[in-house]
Amino acid sequence: MSVVEPILNYEYPDEKGHFGPYGGIFVAETLMHALDELNRTYQRFKCDPDFLDRFDQDLKHYVGRPSPLYFAQRLTAHCKGARIFLKREDLNHTGAHKINNTVGQALLAQHLGKPRIIAETGAGQHGVASATVAARLGLECVVYMGSEDIIRQSSNVYRMKLLGAEVVPVTSGSKTLKDALNEALRDWVANVDSTFYIIGTVAGPHPYPEMVRDFNSVIGREARQQILEQAGRLPDVLVACVGGGSNAMGLFYPFITDESVLLHGVEAAGEGLDTGRHAAPLNAGKVGVLHGQRTYLMEDENGQIIQTHSVSAGLDYPGVGPEHAWLKDIGRAQYSAATDIEALEAFHLLTRLEGIIPALESSHALAHALKLAPTMAEDQIIIVNLSGRGDKDIHTVARIEGIDV
Amino acid sequence: MSRLEMKFSELRGLNKAALVTFITAGDPSPDITVPLMHALVDAGSDVIELGVPFSDPMADGPVIQAASERALAAGVTTTDVIELIRGFRENDKSTPIVLMGYLNPIEIMGYEDFASSIADAGADGIIVVDMPPEEGVELGGVLKAQGIDNVHLLAPTSTADRIRLVCDDASGFIYYVSLRGVTGAATLDLGEVRSRLAAIRVHTNLPLGVGFGIDSPAAAAEAAEFADAVIVGTALVRIVAENSDSPETLIRKASAFIESMSSAMDLAARNEAAAE
């Protein structure tokens, strides 16, 4: 375990959206005004008691918060080491942590008087969460989704349509999440007066990384209070999967000045970090600029963004939120990676031992916890963010195992 | 005096707007780019805007993104683009070349390396689409040191504060994005563009170019009445896409299209001169 430098004051991003050298605003002039307007609105509302109260009420009565912190007794016994607790974001309305952020951004959209929201989605969870809040607030909703992902996640596509959203297939580039993000940005450029763009992760130009982190930090605030109540002490390690990194930032952020708590992010190693077929920019990428931010990227030697691979569509993104890049560089968090096979093993193990079917994304975090727990003492504590439920993934898992569902 | 300054000053003397033609370097293959650039100049193009292929061109529409994808599929790298510029300069010492691209391929090369390489090859300016002045202080300094003009975009949504900021940071010319959208989107309200340009002129003496949505000789002629440069991109790239299997046809049709634009602009300039 590495020694972490004391972080007494952690005030990021700065007012221009920088986390050290990362983050910022790297967009065409056509979007600068919209981002400026969004930032001014967010900086005002994030301290507005009425707005925060409305947000809390929605989290409680619509999302179903607080989500439980569950002691996974049989999983702990299986690992013969640290006690493993699961933060049950899978029990939220729509089945993942994504709804926390969409509820917050939809409230902002309403305050700005924008009748139309757009979103990008990979696994479909953020698209479903956006379509859900749009339905509830009576807003028009358009979701951009890579045509490859539409095939992988057909049930979520149908859910979005049921909720009244228009799902637009994106056939450019690699036809996955990054291309959906490009397409959503283009829509926003063209329709900026009427449209609010709900980005689903802690990535993109300022203020999105800060705003999405803040809306998701309810995860960590609850977990901190819950573990103090249940165990009487802070955890030793937090574990969360990292694609863009919103569930991880949401869990980590309220613990960031608790020096004794180690933060472990887990990227998708796909078929293995040495195969090149993965989605692990923090482990095996380089610093560059994409989607409005400076961060670690999966890119070739000419600066072209390369295709990522993961069994989990939600982790299949060539970048990562800029705050994770900064936490890595300053050593406050450490980032490993789990392969497709390790994630699938963890998926099955949790299902059989605890009766909880985890999302394939969250299974990456579980896979890391399974390696970590046996190396720790029995009185130590790991909290794993169970960021989503696996119902959406059963077809993928069945297909891999040659079963026709 | 830079090539861009010389070109704009020469055209001002003739009371003409510059015709700027955009193609993506290496689209559909690197062999065609230099002959196509010469053909465009012969057809009346005053400035060549050369797209540097990028995998994720988020400010461009589907037509120009597809051009990037074709060039990348043909294996074109930023180094290849620089060699294409050098190749063009062997036979054309005067037509300005302005690159258009995104930051990531520049960052991976390093600002110094990139700027000195393009300057050495004979480029004159660059538009880095996703680099606003706020983030661009370092790159701006490096480009200036190499004598490369830092061409910036302004948009219909740019506020007065942003117009001032962008004008102070820009050199070469200002590229006014005449549509609320990506390249090649929707239709154009030239009346609105005319009044926006007048508002921008208060803040700068730089030439003002109009791009996004100029797809016909008539639109080019109208924009030439109040802009210093008229930029044709998507409409030209579409011709490249439709004729990518035959280099001769591609060059013939692209030339004919640019000639029609250029003649319409010349005619408009003569009519205006006669009216005065």
The string of pLDDT tens digits covering residues B230-272 is 999 999 999 999 999 999 999 999 999 999 999 999 998 888 7
Cα–Cα–Cα angle for A240, A173, A294, rounded to 5 degrees = 50
- Mutate which of B69, B81, B108 to disrupt the A interface (most A C-beta within 10 Å)? B108
pLDDT score of A7: 56
Return the H-helix or E-strand segment holding B131: none
- CB contacts, 8 Å: A178 with chain B: 56
Q: With an 8 Å Cβ cutoff, are A28 and B180 in contact? A: no
Structure-block tokens of residue B54: 């990028």
pLDDT score of A384: 99
> pLDDT band at residue B97, thresholds of 50, 70 and 90?
very high
Residue found under tokens 């909720």: A163
> pLDDT band at residue B273, thresholds of 50, 70 and 90?
confident
Active site residue B228: no
Q: Is the pLDDT of residue A351 over 60?
A: yes
Q: With an 8 Å Cβ cutoff, are A185 and B58 in contact? A: yes
Q: Is the pLDDT of residue B187 over 90?
A: no
pLDDT score of B181: 60
CB neighbourhood size of A395 (10 A)? 16
| E strand map for chain B | 18-24, 47-51, 97-101, 125-128, 149-150, 152-154, 174-177, 208-211, 229-232
Average pLDDT over residues A87-109: 96
Q: Could you tell me which of A254, A267, A231, A251 has the C-alpha nearest to residue A386?
A: A251
Mean pLDDT of chain A: 94
pLDDT score of B180: 66
Q: Which fold has domain B3-275?
A: TIM Barrel (3.20.20)
pLDDT score of A313: 85
Catalytic residue, chosen from A87, A98, A175, A328, is A98
Average pLDDT over residues A80-92: 98
Compute the half-sphere exposure of residue A293: CA atoms within 13 Å on the CB side of its CA: 32
pTM, entire model: 0.95
- Mutate which of B68, B69, B130 to disrupt the A interface (most A C-beta within 10 Å)? B130
Distance CA A164, CA A161 (A): 5
CB neighbourhood size of B75 (10 A)? 11
pLDDT score of A2: 37
Distance CA A287, CA B104 (A): 9
- CB contacts, 8 Å: A33 with chain B: 155, 157-159, 162
pLDDT score of A172: 86
Q: Is the pLDDT of residue A108 over 80?
A: yes
Q: Are A278 and A284 in contact (CB under 8 A)?
A: yes
Percent of chain A with pLDDT over 90: 87
Three-class SS state of A64: coil
pLDDT score of A3: 37
- CB contacts, 8 Å: B186 with chain A: 190
DSSP A358: B
